[in-house]
Amino acid sequence: MDSAIELVSANKCFGGWQKRYRHRSSVLGCDMIFAIFLPPQADQGEPLPVLYWLSGLTCTDENFVQKAGAQRLAAELGMVVVAPDTSPRGEGVADDPQGAWDFGLGAGFYINATQQPWARHYQMYDYVVTELPALIEGNFPVSDRRAISGHSMGGHGALICALKNPGRYQSVSAFAPITNPVNCPWGHKAFGNYLGDDREQWKQWDACELIATAQERLPLLVDQGEADNFLAEQLKPEALEAAAAAAGHPLTLRRQAGYDHSYFFIASFIDDHLRHHARALGRL
């Protein structure tokens, strides 16, 4: 494995650095770019914890970094924030034949595809849970204390990564997550293509299914805008609420009146999520 990383850009930000790096991903079989915010404390020797942020459909590593306003408080708290891309990229990476925005490029769903042509590159789960953290922990002054969060498709990603890996993350949260992909149109399309027709196989990538057998009771913090256009058909917070209640899994689900699916919603509540993670990571 080639673990070299190449700096793409660096911008000083809140006393720290917002950077982008390109690297070769062996699990995805392509070059990838990730964003990393290094707070000012990164220069002081003490290994810092890392929050992984998973973005939603159509995003890259840049959306959260430019629009969420997370760096201000992350700089105060001394937390590194890493934002990967949302799918494998580049020539030779299969895309939706119709170029749709809800599948293929920009829509990896943070799962490991089993069906061709997708399986060749679409292994975002292994990338996010294993390869990328190893790269981060080998190249930056960080500890192995990790948190994970995300938005929409990335909220689904954060929930499944945490639920499937007891002990790997100290905390988890999500904004407007796709809670139950086995029961919504986005999930049907993505899972049907990436995983094939056997719906039993889908369940290992569904937060509502995973919560029933979770080996760790990591408290879930979820914010959901009540004016979100995707609420009823795609996101289904009530499904997560029911699954958590049935399993006795701790869930704080906040329904935010008037808020939609945009980054204006995320920006409005990102500080609460950062503090939630900082408490679990020993930074508050």
Q: Please tell me the distance from the alpha carbon of residue 14 to that of residue 96, in angstroms, as a whole number.
A: 39
Residue 207 · residue 240 · CB < 8 Å: yes
Residues at the interface with a second copy (CB under 8 A) = 11-15, 18, 66-67, 69, 71-72, 225, 227, 258-260, 262-265, 267-268, 271
Is 152 in the active site? yes
Among the listed residues 261, 273, 276, 277, the single catalytic one is: 261
Q: Which helix (H) or strand (E) holds 270?
A: helix 263-280
Task: Provide the minimum distance between the beta carbon of 104 and a second copy in the complex, in angstroms, as a whole number.
Answer: 26
Among the listed residues 173, 228, 273, 277, the single catalytic one is: 228
Task: Provide the minimum distance between the beta carbon of 241 and a second copy in the complex, in angstroms, as a whole number.
Answer: 22
Residue 42 · residue 55 · CB < 8 Å: no
Task: Provide the minimum distance between the beta carbon of 140 and a second copy in the complex, in angstroms, as a whole number.
Answer: 18
Among the listed residues 25, 55, 149, 152, the single catalytic one is: 152
Angle at 266 between CA 265 and CA 271, to 5 degrees: 120
Is 228 in the active site? yes
Closer to a second copy by Cβ: residue 8 or 134: 8
Q: Is 18 helix (H, G, I), strand (E, B) or coil?
A: strand
Helices then strands, counting H and E runs in the chain, come out as 10, 9
Task: Provide the minimum distance between the beta carbon of 207 and a second copy in the complex, in angstroms, as a whole number.
Answer: 26
Catalytic residues: 152, 228, 261
